[in-house]
Structures are given as structure tokens and as C-alpha cells.
Chain A
């Protein structure tokens, strides 16, 4: 139920809007775009492929957001430690915890 791979659309079929050629690091296969017809992807878009069908478009923006959030994990705590190191314990007590600081919501 779960093996789905991100692939890039390299060519859309002229005759059949539901057929496209996708590529994953140089490996190419035709896949069915029938499940994405509400918002058909274009050549160059990335889609998630499962059993020869494209399931979803991949959002570059969301991917970058996620990686950004992940890279910040632990950084606020490091910053807090640094502040503590300057002898400013009273500044940190009772304030937001690092977990709450890095919470993206």
C-alpha cells in the first residue's frame, strides 16, 4: 500500500492527457495521470507514483518548508544554552521552552 516514488514528468502525451512519461534518476516509465485530472500537472512537475499511477503533485514549497523546520530543530535550545552560559538564568526561568520556541505553529 505504500511504495510510492517521487518522479519528474518529462513528457506529456499529446494524444492522451492521462498518459505521461516520468523519470526517476534516468529511469523512465509511462504512468497514468488519470487521478490528477482536476489539476493536471505539466511537464517538469514532480508527482508521486504508485503502481504506475500518479497519486499527487509534490509541492516543492512544502518540502523546503519542512526541511527548513527540521534544520531549526535544536537550534533554539542551543541559543538558550548560550544565554544561560552568560549567567542569565533568571531570564530563562518561567519563559517559553525550546520546544515551544521551535514549534512552527
Chain B
């Protein structure tokens, strides 16, 4: 079976929250509605950013929208997410973000201090990430129509030399690297909403992953096959997309996946799988085995990369599947979520 994305018709009658959650429903919407109508007949698997030619030069381009409640949370705010999210999308596509444009959709009645705080946060995050913000647009909608504010950022970047990324280049034996502990962002947001009466010392991991990726590209660029950032839908969703796009098995050693105690505790209490929880400052990379150790070292020595680990490897079978393997040899299929992760009591 080749690596083409199968044609999926979109049969749903209405849009649900699940379609935005990053899991199966999101994928069906994109592949079933947007792709056939907007992306032409390209058979390339969909990525985080597109690398296109303009006047003979290659540029990378991406856009992302940010919808989060509450706007401010431990470790960051919507402003930071809006900058880092787009920088990261470009980074995992193998590009260095250079400029952003930003659009705001503001709810009538929003206090100006709130807006100012987010704009300042964006300015600071942009400076930290080394990108310039060069323009944008603002719209105001009626009270109740925008959850205070929605932000979209579009980013342009320069492809990093030496990186050729494609799920189709992934081979059995390749190693799967994860930059750091999972679940911080999603659990922080869940707790910050205050509906579950849980408290923990946890904050969002929002940050630019570009420094780590630049270090990786420099040290082991030739061996990097594929990268992605596990945002909504978590590591499980990313790896499932990879498994489908390369039609191989992604085998994950469960006990090697790093996570902070607070994430573990919250997930155990609520019956959530940490692999489905959103991250805003991590990335996954598939690296050829002969380059894996060098790659790991490079990331670990880069700013923020200290916790990078190899969490698994690519195998031939079972194809298009993400397999979780325990230390004692138990296996399970790690599936993509349908919609948002829901707490359970059973």
C-alpha cells in the first residue's frame, strides 16, 4: 500500500467541537472537505507548513488560529501561544520563522487592559523567538461571539539547509525522538478552567522549539526524516498521522515517554491518557538510526532540550499503527482520539 492519503468524504451534518480537537474528526474535516476543494490534486501528506517556491526561492508559510479559555494561564497566555505556535509549525516543517502577521477578532466589551496584556505578550514572545511582526488586521464582533478574543497568526520562514522532511522517507529501524515531558499545556488549561476543582504546580510549556531544531538540523540534518509538534490531540495523534502517512508501525516504549508528576496525577485522577493531551513546546522527530545518538545529543545540548529522549522506533508491522509496548512486553494500540479528551469515572 502506497503512502497516499485516502480519499474520505465528509458526511457529517453539522460542525461539532470534535472537529476542532485535533483528532480523527478534525482530520476527516480537513481531508474530506478542505483538501479536495482547496488543495488541488496534491497527493502529498498534509504537513504543518507548506514550502513553496516564490521567484525561484523556497519559502515556508503557515497559519494558525488560537482559541483558548481562559486567556491567561500559568506559564503563558493566548498571545504567547499565537507567536510560538506559528514559529513551531514552521520549525517542524524545517524552516526558521522570519516574520508574522496577526489578526485579532475581538469581542465587544473586552477591557482594553486585557488586549494590551496580550499584545505585550506577543511582542515579548516575538522578540524571544527572533521573529518580527509586520502587520495584521482587527475585527470586532458583538458581545458573546468571540470568547473575548481569537488570534490568528500567519508566518513566513526560510527553509533550514540540509533538511528534507517527508513521511515517505521514514524506514523501519528509524528512531522516534521526543523533545521533553508531555501534557503540561493541556493539563494546565484544564485545571485553569476551574471546573474540576483540581490544583497542581503545573504550567504551560509554551515556547519556541526552533533553537532545538536548528541544533538538530546542524548536527544531524541528513538523518532527520520527519518532524511534527504534538499540539491538540497530543503525541498519539501526531504519531498516528505519521503511521498512516508512512504506512509503517510506530512502536513506542511507554515507560520512556517523559511526563511530570502533576500531569501523571491529573491524568490518573481524571482517567485521561497523557498521550492525548495537548503540548505547546515540544516536538517529535524521526531520525535514521545511524544519526540518532548525535541527534539526541545535539537537542539535549540546545536551550530547552535537556529532557529529549528516544521514545521508540519504526517497524514494518502492524502497518499504519501506533503500538504502545510496556516494559514487560504487553502491547496496545495507541489510537487517535475522536474529539477532545473527556474525564471518565469508569
Cross-chain pairs A/B with CB under 8 angstroms, 6 sampled: A1-B345, A1-B346, A26-B201, A26-B261, A28-B200, A52-B197
Question: By the criterion CB–CB under 8 Å, are A26 and B345 in contact?
Answer: no
Instruction: Looking at the assembled complex, report how far the CB atom of A7 sits from the nearest CB atom of chain B, in whole angstroms.
Output: 8
A25: interface (CB < 8 Å): yes
Instruction: Looking at the assembled complex, report how far the CB atom of A25 sits from the nearest CB atom of chain B, in whole angstroms.
Output: 4
Instruction: Looking at the assembled complex, report how far the CB atom of B344 sits from the nearest CB atom of chain A, in whole angstroms.
Output: 6
Task: Annotate A32-53 by CB proximity to B: 1 below 8 A, 0 otherwise.
Answer: 0000000000000000011110
Chain B residues with CB under 8 Å of chain A are: 196-201, 261-262, 264-266, 268-269, 271, 344-346
Question: By the criterion CB–CB under 8 Å, are A2 and B269 in contact?
Answer: no
Question: By the criterion CB–CB under 8 Å, are B268 and A5 in contact?
Answer: yes
A3: interface (CB < 8 Å): yes
A64: interface (CB < 8 Å): no
Residues on A with beta carbons closer than 8 Å to the beta carbon of B264: 25
Question: By the criterion CB–CB under 8 Å, are A27 and B271 in contact?
Answer: no
Question: By the criterion CB–CB under 8 Å, are B345 and A27 in contact?
Answer: no
| Contact partner, B262, options A3, A26, A29, Cβ 8 Å | A26
A79: interface (CB < 8 Å): no
Question: By the criterion CB–CB under 8 Å, are B197 and A27 in contact?
Answer: no
For A2, A29, A50, which residue has the most chain B Cβ atoms within 10 angstroms? Answer: A29
> Closest residue to B344 on the A side, CB-wise?
A3
Instruction: Looking at the assembled complex, report how far the CB atom of A71 sits from the nearest CB atom of chain B, in whole angstroms.
Output: 15
Residues on A with beta carbons closer than 8 Å to the beta carbon of B269: 5, 7, 24, 27, 29, 49
A57: interface (CB < 8 Å): no
The A-B contact count (CB < 8 A) is 42
Question: By the criterion CB–CB under 8 Å, are B344 and A27 in contact?
Answer: no
Chain A residues with CB under 8 Å of chain B are: 1-3, 5, 7, 24-30, 49-52
Instruction: Looking at the assembled complex, report how far the CB atom of B253 sits from the nearest CB atom of chain A, in whole angstroms.
Output: 21
Q: What 9 pairs across the A-B complex have the smallest Cβ distances?
A: A27-B265, A25-B261, A25-B265, A24-B265, A27-B200, A28-B199, A3-B271, A26-B262, A27-B266
Question: By the criterion CB–CB under 8 Å, are A28 and B345 in contact?
Answer: no
Question: By the criterion CB–CB under 8 Å, are B346 and A2 in contact?
Answer: yes
Instruction: Provide the bound-state CA to CA distance between A7 and B198, in Å.
Output: 13
Instruction: Looking at the assembled complex, report how far the CB atom of A67 sits from the nearest CB atom of chain B, in whole angstroms.
Output: 16
> Closest residue to B201 on the A side, CB-wise?
A26
Instruction: Provide the bound-state CA to CA distance between A54 and B271, in Å.
Output: 17
Question: By the criterion CB–CB under 8 Å, are A29 and B268 in contact?
Answer: no
Instruction: Looking at the assembled complex, report how far the CB atom of A82 sits from the nearest CB atom of chain B, in whole angstroms.
Output: 26
Instruction: Looking at the assembled complex, report how far the CB atom of A87 sits from the nearest CB atom of chain B, in whole angstroms.
Output: 35
Question: By the criterion CB–CB under 8 Å, are B197 and A29 in contact?
Answer: yes
